[in-house]
Chains A and B, each alone.
Chain A
Amino acid sequence: DSGVTQTPKHLITATGQRVTLRCSPRSGDLSVYWYQQSLDQGLQFLIQYYNGEERAKGNILERFSAQQFPDLHSELNLSSLELGDSALYFCASSVGQLGFYGYTFGSGTRLTVV
């Protein structure tokens, strides 16, 4: 157990729907990162939050949004889902906002859009 908790583990939904993925960071970590992993694109950085504030944005679609709450858990909202959004979504956390020592990843949420 890495200490980063992601729920749900699996999600199957229809095109056009909206889903919310949840992440609880490792105890003491203030930064949360969201990544999307697909076979053809590999691990793609989506967005980072540090202590409730957005710190960096990557290749996140406008249909996607995220937030980090006062208790430091984070949610990734995916709307108007398309078949191409099917992927593994990982949350990671790190000590502080620098993250240059690397991140601790959760086990991921496997999203299937049908």
Chain B
Amino acid sequence: QKEVEQDPGPLSVPEGAIVSLNCTYSNSAFQYFMWYRQYSRKGPELLMYTYSSGNKEDGRFTAQVDKSSKYISLFIRDSQPSDSATYLCAMSALTDSGGSNYKLTFGKGTLLTVNP
């Protein structure tokens, strides 16, 4: 079983729709949860960052973490064509018992297209 599972899509929605993107994970050591957006031929850029279970909102984006279910979500409200990109979830855990280093593990990404 992969540490992080993400449905690759593709997902196609009309402009203005609410988009829901999800990841599940198996490693209970993951402590920090992130969503990255990657446009074609570009590097991933950090969208949202959360630590605890619950919701975090930033404009049209809401990140949700449920550690008990090992499930994270990203919601995009009023989706725009400019939101068309690949969305990657990422999670970090300590790489050593000394507590001095973390490593990010990424999902494979979900390709989202928002149609005008």
What residues make up the interface of A, taking CB atoms closer than 8 Å to B?
A: 2, 4, 33, 35, 41-43, 45, 48, 50, 55-56, 58, 90, 92, 97-108, 110
Residues of B within 8 Å of A48, CB to CB, are 101, 103
- Interface window among B13-21, B44-52, B56-64, B70-78: B44-52
Do A107 and B43 contact each other (CB < 8 Å), given the known contacts A100-B31, A101-B49?
yes
Please tell me if B108 contacts chain A, counting CB pairs below 8 Å: yes
Residues of A within 8 Å of B49, CB to CB, are 101-102
Q: Are the C-beta atoms of A102 and B101 separated by less than 8 Å?
A: no
Q: For the complex, count residues of B whose C-beta is within 8 A of A.
A: 25
Question: Restricting to B65-109, which residues have a CB under 8 Å from any CB of A?
Answer: 88, 90, 92, 95, 100-109
What residues make up the interface of B, taking CB atoms closer than 8 Å to A?
A: 31-32, 34, 36, 41-46, 49, 88, 90, 92, 95, 100-109
Q: Are the C-beta atoms of A58 and B103 separated by less than 8 Å?
A: yes
Q: Are the C-beta atoms of A90 and B101 separated by less than 8 Å?
A: no
Residues of A within 8 Å of B104, CB to CB, are 33, 45, 99, 102-103
Residues of B within 8 Å of A90, CB to CB, are 43-44
Nearest 5 Cβ contacts at the A-B interface? A105-B43, A42-B108, A43-B106, A100-B102, A102-B46
Residues of A within 8 Å of B106, CB to CB, are 35, 42-43
Q: How far is the CA of A48 from the CA of B101 in the complex (A)?
A: 10
Q: Are the C-beta atoms of B103 and A56 separated by less than 8 Å?
A: yes
Q: Are the C-beta atoms of A97 and B32 separated by less than 8 Å?
A: no
Q: List 13 A-B contacts (CB under 8 A).
A: A35-B106, A42-B108, A42-B109, A43-B88, A43-B106, A45-B105, A58-B103, A92-B43, A100-B31, A100-B32, A102-B92, A102-B104, A107-B42
Q: Are the C-beta atoms of B43 and A2 separated by less than 8 Å?
A: yes
